[in-house]
Amino acid sequence: MPLQSDVKPLADEVAEFYHATGDADPTSLYHRLLTEEPVHKTRFGFWIVAEYADALTVLKGDKTIRTAPPLAHPGSPEDELNRHFLSRKEEPDHGRLRRIVQGVFSPRRVRAFTGMIEDTVREVVRRARETGEFDMANDIARPLPLSLLCTIFDVPLEFRDAMSDALANLILAYRPAGAPEGAAQLADDSAQLVIDKIQSMMDSRRRDPGDDLLSVMLQAQADGAEISDPEILSIVAHLLQAGTQTTRILLTNGLMALLEHPGQLARLHADRDLIKPAVEECLRWVTPSRTLAQRVAIDDIEVGGKVIPEGDELAVWVGAANRDPKVFEDPDVFDVGRTPNPHLSFSTGTHYCLGVNLARLEGNVVFRVLLDELPELEFSKSELVWGESPMRPMITSMPVRVR
Ligand code: HEM
Domain containing residue 134: CATH number: 1.10.630.10
Find the 83 Cα to ligand 1 centroid distance in Å: 16
pLDDT band at 294 (very low <50, low <70, confident <90, very high): confident
Could you tell me if the CB of 292 is within 6 A of ligand 1?
yes
Find the 378 Cα to ligand 1 centroid distance in Å: 30
Residue to substitute in 86, 246, 353 for testing ligand 1 pocket (most ligand atoms within 8 angstroms of CB): 353
Could you tell me if the CB of 364 is within 6 A of ligand 1?
no
pLDDT value of position 403: 83
Beta strands 47-49 and 313-316, pairing class: parallel
Could you tell me if the CB of 327 is within 6 A of ligand 1?
no
Could you tell me if the CB of 235 is within 6 A of ligand 1?
no
Using CB atoms within 10 Å of the CB of residue 37, give its burial: 0 to 12 exposed, 13 to 18 middle, 19+ buried: middle
Range of the domain at 56: 4-402
pLDDT band at 65 (very low <50, low <70, confident <90, very high): confident
- Partners of 49 in the beta sheet? 39, 316
Using CB atoms within 10 Å of the CB of residue 323, give its burial: 0 to 12 exposed, 13 to 18 middle, 19+ buried: buried
For ligand 1, what atom is nearest to the CA of residue 249?
1
pTM: 0.94
Could you tell me if the CB of 293 is within 6 A of ligand 1?
yes
pLDDT value of position 80: 87
Find the 100 Cα to ligand 1 centroid distance in Å: 16
Could you report the per-residue pLDDT of 114-136, keeping only the tens digit for each? Answer: 999 999 999 999 999 999 999 99
pLDDT, average across residues 386-390: 88
Task: List Cβ neighbours of 2 (8 Å cut-off, separation of 6 or more).
Answer: none
Residue 1 has pLDDT above 80, yes or no: no
Residue 171 has pLDDT above 80, yes or no: no
* Own/partner pairs, 61-64, CB within 8 angstroms, 24+ separation: 61/301, 62/91, 62/349, 62/350, 64/297, 64/298, 64/299, 64/301
Residue 172 has pLDDT above 70, yes or no: no
pLDDT value of position 64: 80
pLDDT band at 79 (very low <50, low <70, confident <90, very high): confident
Find the 294 Cα to ligand 1 centroid distance in Å: 14
Residue 289 has pLDDT above 80, yes or no: yes
pLDDT, average across residues 302-306: 95
Find the 67 Cα to ligand 1 centroid distance in Å: 14
pLDDT, average across residues 107-120: 96
pLDDT value of position 165: 86
Could you tell me if the CB of 100 is within 6 A of ligand 1?
no
For ligand 1, what atom is nearest to the CA of residue 98?
41
Find the 242 Cα to ligand 1 centroid distance in Å: 6
Could you tell me if the CB of 285 is within 6 A of ligand 1?
no
Distance CA 379, CA 398 (A): 8
Q: In three state form, how does the secondary structure of the chain look?
A: CCCHHHCCCHHHHHHHHHCCCCCCCCHHHHHHHHHHCCEEECCCCCEEECCHHHHHHHHHCCCCEEECCCCCCCCCHHHHHHCCCHHHCCCCHHHHHHHHHHHHHCHHHHHCCHHHHHHHHHHHHHHHHHHCEEEHHHHHHCHHHHHHHHHHHCCCHHHHHHHHHHHHHHHHCCCCCCCCCCHHHHHHHHHHHHHHHHHHHHHHHHHCCCCCHHHHHHHHHHCCCCCCHHHHHHHHHHHHHHHHHHHHHHHHHHHHHHHHCHHHHHHHHHCHHHHHHHHHHHHHHHCCCCCCCCEEECCCEEECCEEECCCCEEEECHHHHCCCCCCCCCCCCCCCCCCCCCCCCCCCHHHCCCCHHHHHHHHHHHHHHHHHHCCCEEECHHHCEECCCCCCCCEEECEEEEC
Task: List Cβ neighbours of 260 (8 Å cut-off, separation of 6 or more).
Answer: 334
Could you tell me if the CB of 164 is within 6 A of ligand 1?
no
pLDDT band at 59 (very low <50, low <70, confident <90, very high): very high
pLDDT value of position 70: 66
How many domains is the chain built from?
Answer: 1
**If you take atom 7 of ligand 1, which residue's CA is the nearest one?**
346
Q: Which of 112, 84, 401 shows the shortest CA–CA distance to 226?
A: 84
Cα distances (Å, whole numbers) of residue 105 to 152, 154, 239, 272? 10, 15, 11, 25
Task: List Cβ neighbours of 138 (8 Å cut-off, separation of 6 or more).
Answer: 396, 397
For ligand 1, what atom is nearest to the CA of residue 288?
5
pLDDT value of position 178: 60
Q: Which of 68, 10, 118, 131 shows the shortest CA–CA distance to 291?
A: 68
pLDDT value of position 205: 96
